[in-house]
Amino acid sequence: MAVVPAGALMRRAAFGVAVVAAELLAGKRRVGLLVGAGNNGGDALWAGYYLRKRGVAVSAVLLTPDRVHAEGLAAFRRVGGRVVPRLRDVDLVIDGIVGLSARGPLRPDAAEHVAHLEAPVLSVDLPSGVDPDTGAVSGPAVRAHTTVTFGCLKPVHALADCGDVRLVDIGLDGELHGPDLVELDIADIGVAWPVPGPEDDKYTQGVTGIAAGSATYPGAAVLATGAALLSTSGLVRYAGPAAEDVRARWPESICTGSITDAGRVQAWVVGPGLGTGLGAEAVLRTVLEAGVPVCADADAITMLANNPDLWDARDPDTLLVLTPHDREYERLAGPVGTDRVTAARKAAERYNAVVLLKGHATVIAGPDGRVLVNRARSSWAATAGSGDVLSGVLGSLLAAGLDPVLAAGCAAKVHALAADLASDGAPIPATSLLAALPDAIRAVRPL
Ligand SMILES: NC(=O)C1=CN([C@@H]2O[C@H](COP(=O)(O)OP(=O)(O)OC[C@H]3O[C@@H](n4cnc5c(N)ncnc54)[C@H](OP(=O)(O)O)[C@@H]3O)[C@@H](O)[C@H]2O)[C@@H](O)CC1
Ligand SMILES: [K+]
């Protein structure tokens, strides 16, 4: 703002909004604006100005008529924009209620206007009512068909549903510092995914150990072992009471009944279906003492939370990835709250571990401050056994030697993708998600 003429950035932003609006209108001609008190409302008014100049009928509701972007309103009126008490018969609504200065859900008067919308909504910068920094929705909020944002994506775009997100360049290059959050795309994952070369054999690609399952929950062992087998071509060893079931389903795995004669591995997965009794604690201790990277999931997290002495078994240099859902997180580090990024960061720092906090937006924080986020396109992965699959994928990537933050990011994305592919719009059990892993990996691998 210091280096360009006053108002220039807003007009660039608003022009971007108008271009996307014209695209969404696809020949229709009536647009309504919801205009709040600040610059977000200013953007909407200027977008209305550009649309009017293209011959679109534009009406605007001013939510706070005494506090409105004066130049934007003057320009809007100059080209015949109409101020109305309520939007009626419009083909598209532009949401300029509130942007980056938003705090909390929509206020009642704004919520009242939003509740009666029938046309699709194009949100300026972010859907009003969604928290810009955390993506939290704690009350009435706009549901955006499309969001147009400026200069760079903000945390809200990675953490919350903003519809189709369009980024408009307003000339901020060089002014932006590095990202606070990173979302891996398919190409990032394709490059990182371990692929055997001509020199490789089953050992050089990493041996994954699975310490999971119990007499009550043999399925967790079968799912985690299968996921590790399908994710890389390294060897998988299973150790535990579900050895018979695992061997029957996955004859290529090497199964033993006890952790003490499991043999050497390059990474352990511990916890799914393991139970939390004394036997399970002894298994967890053995795994943590092994000095190789560990993915601790489910019951392993509960045991670490309930019995902090178990942390002593881990050499502080041993790489650890914790994969809690919200209730497991709460046992470890207190309530997650609405700021999931801060929550994941806090636990990562406290335990010197990578924390993968599961959710519709999965947040992965490293003890070094890096944060990755992966927002699922659907919620079909939220099914029993799904977490066992995730930990198996993650364990095999750790065994292959991937950096643990990257391993967690790759596992989360491929897991979500497998759920989408398997489901294709219908509910699926975790076995179907598991079976879709090869398709998901194929989809991220470069051709
Ligand atoms: N920075 C840039 O480079 C560029 C920025 N640009 C644009 O500026 C936008 C930021 O504008 P901004 O800072 O003027 O504030 P904005 O988000 O419009 O909020 C205004 C007022 O809304 C109110 N309010 C708060 N919460 C609310 C709620 N829940 N429900 C209802 N109302 C609520 C609150 O008022 P108050 O609390 O005082 O009553 C607040 O002061 C940004 O998102 C982008 O669109 C572009 O032009 C490109 C260049
Ligand atoms: K908005």
Is the residue at 1 inside a domain?
Answer: no
Q: Which atom of ligand 1 is nearest to the CA of 124?
A: 45
Residues 280 and 310 in one domain: yes
Question: Cα(27) to centroid of ligand 2, in Å?
Answer: 24
Residues 161 and 232 in one domain: no
The whole-number average pLDDT for the span 49-58 is: 98
Question: Cα(99) to centroid of ligand 1, in Å?
Answer: 4
Of 9-18, 55-64, 170-179, the range with the lowest mean pLDDT is 170-179
The whole-number average pLDDT for the span 179-188 is: 95
Strands 294-296 and 320-322: parallel
pLDDT for res 24: 98
What DSSP line would sit under 3-45, residue for residue? SS-TTHHHHHHHHHHHHHHHHHHTT--EEEEEE-SSHHHHHHH
Any atom of ligand 1 within 6 Å of the Cβ of 34: no
Residues 273 and 378 in one domain: yes
pLDDT at 406 over 90: yes
* Spatial distance between the Cα atoms of 191 and 25, rounded to a whole number of angstroms: 39
What DSSP line would sit under 67-134, residue for residue? S--HHHHHHHHHTT-EE-SS--S-SEEEEES--TT--SS--HHHHHHHHT--S-EEEESS-TTS-TTT
Q: Which atom of ligand 1 is nearest to the CA of 126?
A: 43
Among the three residues 168, 198, 218, which one is the final residue of a domain in this structure? 168
Is the residue at 177 inside a domain?
Answer: no
Residues 159 and 210 in one domain: no
Among the three residues 108, 133, 168, which one is the final residue of a domain in this structure? 168
Residues 393 and 244 in one domain: yes
Is the residue at 236 inside a domain?
Answer: yes
Residues 114 and 206 in one domain: no
The whole-number average pLDDT for the span 181-196 is: 95
CB 97 within 8 A of CB 122: no
pLDDT for res 199: 92
Q: Going by CA atoms, what residue is nearest to atom 30 of ligand 1?
A: 106
Any atom of ligand 1 within 6 Å of the Cβ of 104: yes
pLDDT for res 202: 82
Is the residue at 87 inside a domain?
Answer: yes
Residues 160 and 293 in one domain: no
Can you give the CATH number for the domain in which 386 is found?
3.40.1190.20
What tokens appear for 208 in the block?
């994954």
Any atom of ligand 1 within 6 Å of the Cβ of 265: no
Is the whole-model pTM more than 0.90? yes
Any atom of ligand 1 within 6 Å of the Cβ of 444: no
Any atom of ligand 1 within 6 Å of the Cβ of 95: no
Q: What percent of the chain lies above the pLDDT cut of 70?
A: 100
Which of 3, 35, 39 has the most ligand 1 atoms within 8 A of CB, as the residue to mutate? Answer: 39
Band of the pLDDT at 426, cuts 50, 70, 90? Answer: very high
- Mean pLDDT (the chain) is 96
* Spatial distance between the Cα atoms of 280 and 261, rounded to a whole number of angstroms: 16
Band of the pLDDT at 1, cuts 50, 70, 90? Answer: confident
Is the residue at 91 inside a domain?
Answer: yes
pLDDT at 174 over 90: no
Q: From the CA of 68, which ligand is nearest?
A: 1
Any atom of ligand 1 within 6 Å of the Cβ of 378: no
* Spatial distance between the Cα atoms of 142 and 137, rounded to a whole number of angstroms: 10
CA-based nearest residue to 97, from 49, 35, 139: 35
Residues 140 and 202 in one domain: no
Taking only the tens place, the pLDDT of each residue in 124-144 is 999 999 999 999 999 999 999
pLDDT for res 11: 97
pLDDT at 353 over 80: yes
Structural domain that includes position 142: 8-168
Any atom of ligand 1 within 6 Å of the Cβ of 136: no
Taking only the tens place, the pLDDT of each residue in 280-326 is 999 999 999 999 999 999 999 999 999 999 999 999 999 999 999 99
pLDDT for res 378: 87
ipTM of model over 0.95? yes
Residues 136 and 198 in one domain: no
Is the residue at 3 inside a domain?
Answer: no
Residues 421 and 316 in one domain: yes
Residues 164 and 204 in one domain: no
Which of 20, 45, 98 has the most ligand 1 atoms within 8 A of CB, as the residue to mutate? Answer: 98
Residues 162 and 201 in one domain: no
How many domains would you assign to the chain?
2
Is the residue at 371 inside a domain?
Answer: yes
Taking only the tens place, the pLDDT of each residue in 377-387 is 889 898 999 99
Can you give the CATH number for the domain in which 90 is found?
3.40.50.10260
* Spatial distance between the Cα atoms of 437 and 440, rounded to a whole number of angstroms: 5
Which of 11, 94, 95, 100 has the most ligand 1 atoms within 8 A of CB, as the residue to mutate? Answer: 100
* Spatial distance between the Cα atoms of 444 and 188, rounded to a whole number of angstroms: 9
Taking only the tens place, the pLDDT of each residue in 4-15 is 888 999 999 999
